[in-house]
Chains A and B, each alone.
Chain A
Amino acid sequence: MDSYLEVVIFVAAGFLFVPVTMLVGKLLRPHRPYAEKLVTYECGEPSHGSAQIRYHARYYLFGLLFLVFDIETVFLYPWAVMVRHLGPIGLIEMVVFIAVLVVGLVYAWCKGVLEWV
């Protein structure tokens, strides 16, 4: 665990950087809010309706495809490190694995899932 101490410290430094800067800024900046100033910006028009709008179902399809290929990368990394030691059999196995996923990609492509219109 000792080797991850730096990671913890760096993450904490990044996270605390903003509040510390905002605290310094508090000494310099004015604070005079009023209702018109806090209104949502919509190019000068009065805003109506909620901003949490509905969005298209294709996000879901792309999300599913992304999940599959992102997990594939997680499998590829340990294999990539060991590929020299695994020999030709290891290479063939991974090519088969990639080919199976490519078949899935081609199917999605043919079905028009990859069209973003």
Chain B
Amino acid sequence: MSIVSSLNALVGSLPGFWSPLVSALIKVLLVLAFVFGNEIMLIWLERKVCGRFQRRKGPMYVGRPEGWLQSIPDVVKLLAKEDIIPARADRWLFVLAPMVIMVPAVALFVVIPFGRGWVPRDLNIGILYLVALGSFTILSLFMAGWGSGNKWSTLGAMRAVAMLLGYEVPLALSLVGVAMVAGSLSLVDIVHAQERAWFVLLQPIGFLVFLVAAAAELNRTPFDLAEAEQELVAGYQVEYSGMRWAMFFVAEYASLMAISAIAATCFFGGWLGPFASGPWWFLAKLYFFIFLFMWVRWTFPRIRIDHMMELGWKFLLPVALLNIVLTGIGLAIWG
């Protein structure tokens, strides 16, 4: 906390117009350092987790023990690869798509409270902001798929949109219950409202709906229909290579962190713990959810598109609506 307060004092002493700008720039640098620093480890972690689930060892040689530096030579390799833009591609869409996908991946962290007072900006529309920004990913996927001028990627893009129609509404509705119990959309208020009980205990149905819909939002197996290596080769990213392709990868892991952070904040009490509340609790919960999503990814097979739509429209949506009604009745009785 002392670092934060001395930084605040330093920034506060700057003249009028500059002080908020400099503080915002420091925040964005800190968040970027946190996200990309963790991401280097996450990519390694995913490969290790995947390896162990398949009774392999995963990367072992670069960095001992357990090959933990593997991601760094990978980044250098990707930087040194030729940047190919296919002749049939729509150049503008093709170049813009990776830029657009990075926007929600970074900007989702604006409202995430890392600890007490450790939040880039506590917006009073927090949850609405997250839901609105989260659905921007699909815009980028469609731009990439359509702009590549490739049949596989067009199919992948169409599937990505179809999936969005299925999971986006349950995702948004599952967080309505949280807002009802907390009486606020701000994530800091939501964490404070969980001082007596984490919302996973008060909103078990909402939590399960959120977990399934969030896994779909992440476009990871079992919901990676838009990529589907075995049927669509790689869906919307077939034509991407080198660093431009890596941007989709980077954004995917940043979203994985953001979604895990939202789950930890809205349902598991954020930085609050049974004892010694602080950012370390947030970090532990963040990694718990990241591991959970990796576990799911390497355990389940991909589901079919018609099953996906059925899951979204015929199961998650009615259940999420029921959860809202039940929460309302619960609040009227005990609230």
Report which A residues bind B (CB closer than 8 A): 2-7, 9-11, 13-15, 17-19, 21-22, 24-26, 28-33, 35, 37-43, 47, 49, 51-53, 55, 59, 62-63, 65-66, 69-70, 73, 76-77, 80-81, 83-84, 87-88, 91, 94-95, 98, 101-102, 105, 109, 114-117
Contact = CB atoms under 8 A, between A and B. Distances in A.
Interface of B: 20-21, 24-25, 27-28, 31-32, 76, 78-88, 98-100, 102-107, 109-110, 120-121, 123, 127-129, 131, 146, 148-154, 158, 161-162, 165, 168-169, 172-173, 176-177, 179-180, 183-185, 233, 238-239, 242-244, 247, 305-306, 309-310, 313-314, 317-318, 321, 324-325, 328-329, 331-332, 335
Nearest to A41: B238
A98 B158 contact: no
Contacts of B335: 84
B18 to A, nearest CB: 12
Contacts of B83: 22, 25-26, 29, 31
Given A24-B79, A51-B150, A10 B314 contact: no
Nearest to A95: B325
A115 B313 CA distance: 10
Given A6-B110, A28-B80, A37-B84, A18 B247 contact: yes
Given A3-B121, A29-B79, A102-B321, A9 B28 contact: yes
A66 B103 contact: no
B332 A10 contact: no
Across chains A and B, which 6 residue pairs bring their CB atoms closest together, nearest first? A14-B106, A6-B121, A80-B179, A116-B309, A14-B103, A38-B87
Contacts of B129: 7
Q: Is the interface of A mostly helix, strand, loop or mixed?
A: helix
A84 B184 CA distance: 11
Given A25-B79, A105-B318, A117-B306, A63 B328 contact: no
A83 B146 contact: no
Contact of B32 (A11, A13, A33, A73): A13
26 contacts: A3-B121, A13-B106, A14-B106, A14-B107, A22-B243, A38-B84, A40-B149, A42-B151, A51-B88, A51-B150, A55-B158, A66-B168, A66-B169, A70-B169, A73-B131, A77-B179, A80-B177, A81-B184, A83-B180, A88-B332, A98-B321, A109-B313, A114-B309, A115-B306, A116-B162, A116-B309
